[in-house]
């Protein structure tokens, strides 16, 4: 076994199994961590006005904790809206799905679904075993959704997922 056959990820030893050709079967692509929509000055002003308006309502009702949360939330939305997405490397192998240095083993995944609407949405959605964050959405970038679906069917069940209200709202608001 050569050093290329073993990877240490999150302090777990993963031994890559080679296919009949002697290569480890995998699909890899690079993409941005999320779809970035450029924001105009009007977008920033709108967020600021909404935050200040909610703060005034909280002040009138003497709910200072809510007022502080509104100001912190508005500030966070403004910062996150200005943040540029970083480029990530996604690799799907027989061991799991790796995003940069983080591995999600197939055993920790319940199912997958590929959201594909040409010109709008092209994402891989994974249902995780976790309760608090049950879904992970990965943009497909230039990767072929059909190839990814065919590859993942060897390891995970495909279960239809509905687009959440939050995801649809975020796309509509271009956030």
CATH code: domain of residue 104: 2.30.29
Domain count, the chain: 2
Average pLDDT, the chain: 84
* pLDDT at 13 exceeding the cut of 60: no
Q: Same domain, yes or no, for 105 and 145? A: yes
125 neighbors 112 (Cβ within 8 angstroms)? yes
Do 96 and 62 fall into the same domain?
no
Tell which residue, 130, 133, 128, 124, has the closest CA to residue 166: 133
Question: Does residue 91 sit in the same domain as residue 27?
Answer: yes
- Judge if 78 and 102 occupy the same domain: no
What is the mean pLDDT of the segment spanning 34-53?
92
**Does residue 59 share a domain with residue 93?**
no
Q: List C-alpha distances in Å: 52 to 45, 73, 83, 166.
A: 10, 11, 22, 23
Same domain assignment for residues 56 and 78: yes
- Domain membership of residue 171 (yes or no) is no
Q: Is the pLDDT of residue 44 over 90?
A: yes
Average pLDDT in the 32-50 region? 91
The reply to whether 13 falls in a domain is: no
* pTM greater than 0.85 (yes/no): no
How confident is the model at residue 3, as a pLDDT? 37
Condensed to tens digits (0 to 9), the pLDDT of residues 109-167 reads 999 999 988 877 899 999 998 888 888 999 998 889 999 999 999 999 999 998 888 88
pLDDT band with cut points at 50, 70 and 90 for residue 12 = very low
The answer to whether residues 75 and 28 belong to one domain is: no
- Residue 35 has a pLDDT of 84
Are 100 and 150 found together in one domain? Answer: yes
pLDDT at 61 over 70: yes
Average pLDDT over residues 39-43: 92
Judgement on whether residues 27 and 104 belong to the same structural domain of the protein: yes
CB atoms within 10 A of CB 120: 9
pLDDT for the residue 117: 85
- Which residue range(s) make up the domain with 49? 41-82
CA dist 70 and 51 (Å) reads 6
Same domain, 104 and 153: yes
Question: Looking at the predicted structure, is the pLDDT value of residue 75 above 80?
Answer: yes
Nearest residue to 73 (alpha-carbon basis) of 61, 85, 81: 81
3-state helix, strand, coil in the chain (%, to 5): 35, 30, 35
Per-residue pLDDT for 68 more than 50? yes
Name all contacts of 160-164 with Cβ < 8 Å and 24+ positions apart: 160/113, 161/113, 161/115, 161/125, 161/127, 161/135, 163/115, 163/121, 164/135
- CB 109, CB 94: distance < 8 Å: no
Q: Using alpha carbons, list the distances in angstroms from residue 134 to 33, 37, 88, 129.
A: 18, 25, 21, 7
Residue 5 lies in a domain: no
Residue 148 CA to residue 128 CA, distance in Å, equals 18
Model pLDDT, residue 72: 97
Tell me how far apart the alpha carbons of residues 113 and 123 are, in angstroms, rounded to a whole number.
Answer: 9
Helix 64-82 to helix 41-60 angle, to the nearest 10 degrees? Answer: 170
Q: What is the pLDDT of residue 36?
A: 86
């Amino acid at each position: 076994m050569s050093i290329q056959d073993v990877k240490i990820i999150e302090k777990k030893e993963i031994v890559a199994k080679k296919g009949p050709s002697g290569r480890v079967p995998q699909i890899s692509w690079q993409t941005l961590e999320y779809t970035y929509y450029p924001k105009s000055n009007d977008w920033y002003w709108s967020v600021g006005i909404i935050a200040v308006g909610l703060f005034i309502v909280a002040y009138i009702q003497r709910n200072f904790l809510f007022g502080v949360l509104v100001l912190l939330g508005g500030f966070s939305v403004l910062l996150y809206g200005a943040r540029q997405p970083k480029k990530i490397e996604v690799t799907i192998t027989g061991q799991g799905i790796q995003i940069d240095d983080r591995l999600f083993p197939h055993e920790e995944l319940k199912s997958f679904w590929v959201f594909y609407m040409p010109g709008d949405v092209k994402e891989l959605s994974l249902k995780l075993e976790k309760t608090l964050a049950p879904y992970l959405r990965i943009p497909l970038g230039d990767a072929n959704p059909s190839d990814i679906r065919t590859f993942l069917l060897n390891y995970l069940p495909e279960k239809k997922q509905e687009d959440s209200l939050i995801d649809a709202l975020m796309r509509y608001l271009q956030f």
